[in-house]
Structures are given as structure tokens and as C-alpha cells.
Amino acid sequence: MPADLQKTSQTPATPDLGGRNVLFCVGAQKAGTSWLHDYLSEHPEVHVPAVKEMHYFDGFFGPEKAGGVPKRRRENYKKLPMAERIAAKLRNGNLAYPSTAYLKAMVEMHDEANFPHQGYANLLTNGAGPATCVADVTPSYALIGEDGFREMLAFSPGAHFLYILRDPVSRVWSALRMVLQNSNVSKDELPAALAEKVDLFLKGRQKHVHLRSAYSATMDAMEAVIPADQRLYVIYEEMFRDETVQKLTDFFGVSPHKANFDKVVRKGVQSKMDATVAGRLRAYLDDEYLRLERRLGRLPEQWTPRAAPAAALRENAK
């Protein structure tokens, strides 16, 4: 357990959530989590924070650059008076937070005095009203490992954990496009830049993309800690169906609610992946596909198929 949390491990108090159920969606990144957050925001029995990704537990567990608030940044926040921290956020033009009270909660959730996790609980439930369920949709939680999931269960022993699995090849392609979109690459430069990113990925670079592609590692950690009836895996390509949404609401413990499957949330930059690139990525990720097939008992028909024997595919990926 990180030292930041060890110092409060003897404290028996649990955060006050007003009796609400907690849902954690832990990813995967680029697997419909923005659509899910939007759907949950419109559900009358569910409350989601104004900011989609809370990035709380990944500030304490997992790779320091997985997202959230790295230790150095968190320590810097603690050194600043509260008013200065709020003013700094306002100066940076971050207008996603609806009020000064929300800003205060955002910075307080990492303050030492609020452990064990009451500052985070305050922000998670801010404005929840009559909602019976609160949700934190943060894909970086997929990287926090057994210790991180154990701490999340300590925060809310009855919490439910959702992990959405997208075709690994498609997820990698989408993630690389997002990296370039965030780098302000022009439309004309995009094809060449994507080709370069793919080559780097196939050489073992782009570590953050690799980590988020290791579904089996996340599932291993979840299954080591989270009870079976408190975790659910959903296939992204099968999510936009009435029967899947019904499965989700049943799992969350809330009433059915109509979903808008035509709604596009946070559409990213578009660039079609050609068959050669798909084949190279599929070969490189073949072992992960095999692990998933063993675990799930199948591979969804929409996922990128093997185009040749695995050995030949791996050779072509080099």
C-alpha cells in the first residue's frame, strides 16, 4: 500500500456516500466509456460527476503516468493555499467545473486530512440528490492492479466494476489516432504520422498504449480481488443493443432506461486502417487474443480475425 494510504490504514471510518451504490467503469480506454458516461448522466437513478474521469485511485496506484494526479503534482497541490489552487484552475481556463464549491472539492479530494477518501466521496456525490447510484468512469483504473482494486473495495465494499473490451486491434488504432489528435497533427499529416506511431508500437514503444491493450492483466487483477457478482465484462461491439443495456442496468441495480445508440459522444479524428496495418497489429497482439479466447470462451465475430497462421503473422509484423 502506498505510504499516503498507509498512514490512515488504522482508521476504521468509511466514507459517507449517503447509502448510495457505487459503480466503477475501469475502461478500457477508447471502448465507449464516453458514451457510457453520457448514458449514465441521463439516467434518473444515477449520478455521475461533472467531469467524466475522476482520476483518483490512479493517483495512488499503478504507473505514475497512467493518468490522474502523479505524486509530485499532488504534493505541489498540498503546498498551495486553497484559494490559490482554485484561482490557478480558473486562470488555466478549465471551465468544466460548474462552481467554486466543485473546484474546492476537486482539490480537496487529494488532501491528506480527508483520508480515508472522504474528499473523493464528497466530490463523487456532489449534486447527487435522490440518485441511488454514483459512478466514476475512469479508464486509467484498468492499470492500478490488485492493490488498487483492493483499495477501491475498501472505499465501497459493495461497489460494482465494469470493464468494456473492444477489439484490441481497433482499440490500438483508435488510441494512436487520439494521441495524434491531442498533438494537433493536421489532416494531411495524419496518415504518415499514424504509420510512424504503428511502427513504434510494433517495436514495443508507446508504452501507455501497450498497457491499456493488456486486457488479460487487468482481468487477472480484478478477479484476484473483486467478487464475481461485483464485476462484469462487456464487449464493446455488442454494447449498443437493448439487451446489453438491460444487462448493464441490472448489474448496476437501477431501473431500465432507454439508450440512444445513434448518439456520438466525443467523436475523435477519423482515419481508416488498411488491411496491411490491421494484419500487422493482429499478429503483434495474437497472444492477447488467445488469452481472451481462453478466458471468454470465444472471440466476438466483429473482432479482427487471424488472416494467416500465427507464426507467419508475427513474422510479418516485424
pLDDT at residue 318 tops 50: no
Q: What's the half-sphere exposure (Cβ side, CA atoms, 13 Å) at 94? A: 15
At residue 316, the pLDDT reads: 42
At residue 61, the pLDDT reads: 87
Q: What would the CATH number be for the domain defined by 3-266+273-317?
A: 3.40.50.300
Q: What's the half-sphere exposure (Cβ side, CA atoms, 13 Å) at 83? A: 0
Mean pLDDT to the nearest integer, 276-282 = 95
pLDDT at residue 267 tops 90: no
Q: Which of 35-49, 67-81, 145-159, 242-256 shows the lowest mean pLDDT across its residues?
A: 67-81
Amino acid letter, residue 118: Q
Per the model's pLDDT, the better-predicted residue between 63 and 8 turns out to be 63
At residue 58, the pLDDT reads: 86
For the segment 218-232, what is each residue's pLDDT rounded down to a tens digit? 999 999 999 999 999
pTM of the model: 0.85
At residue 147, the pLDDT reads: 94
Question: CB atoms < 10 A from the CB of 63, how many?
Answer: 15
Amino acid letter, residue 304: T
| Residue partners of 50: CB distance under 8 A and separation at least 6 | 96, 97, 98, 102, 127
Any idea where the domains of the chain sit in the sequence? Answer: 3-266+273-317
At residue 310, the pLDDT reads: 47
pLDDT at residue 38 tops 90: yes
At residue 52, the pLDDT reads: 84
Mean pLDDT to the nearest integer, 242-260 = 97
**In this structure, what C-alpha cell is assigned to residue 183?**
498533438
At residue 90, the pLDDT reads: 58
For residue 277, name the pLDDT band (cuts at 50, 70, 90): very high
Mean pLDDT of the chain: 84
| R_g of the chain computed on alpha carbons | 20
For the segment 61-106, what is each residue's pLDDT rounded down to a tens digit? 888 544 445 554 555 555 556 556 655 665 555 545 556 666 667 7
At residue 278, the pLDDT reads: 95
pLDDT winner (highest mean) among 7-21, 112-126, 252-266, 285-299:
285-299
For the segment 40-60, what is each residue's pLDDT rounded down to a tens digit? 999 999 999 987 888 888 888
